Amino acid sequence: MAIVFPSIVFAPDASGPGPADAGLGHNGGPPLDYVPGRSWRRWRWKKAHAAAWKTPPPEIVRRRLRRARAAGMTYREYTLEIMERGRYP
């Protein structure tokens, strides 16, 4: 029986490491080494990563940079906090 998530299917008999093998704090990213049969997952991961880090409009960049400096963070750290938590720090 396979566990089905939206647009992702994990089968217990799949070869190689899977979600059950990931350790605490693992973000579920693709393996750095090429694993046959998992090219689709790597491609989707790269597309999602690129979409998440797409450069926003200049007004948003300025606002985030101003708030990041006020919080004592870099722009990248501040943006990462927004993406991880889904809210502003």
Reading the chain (89 residues) residue by residue, the pLDDT tens digits are 555 455 555 554 445 555 556 666 666 666 666 667 677 778 888 898 888 889 899 999 999 999 999 999 999 999 999 988 887 77
Residue 75 in domain = yes
| CA distance readout (Å), 34 to 11, 30, 37, 41 | 19, 9, 9, 11
Q: Which residues contact 46 (CB under 8 A, 6 or more apart)?
A: 30
Q: Establish if 63 belongs to a structural domain.
A: yes
Residue 24 resides in a domain = no
Determine contact, residues 66/78, Cβ cutoff 8 Å.
Answer: no
Residue 36 domain flag: no
Per the domain annotation, does 10 fall within a domain? Answer: no
pTM over 0.75: no
Domains: count for the chain = 1
Query: Is 50 a domain residue?
Result: no
Picking from 58, 37, 61, 36, the residue whose alpha carbon sits closest to that of residue 82 is: 61
Question: Does residue 18 form part of some domain?
Answer: no
- Domain containing 86 equals 57-89
d(CA 43, CA 54): 16
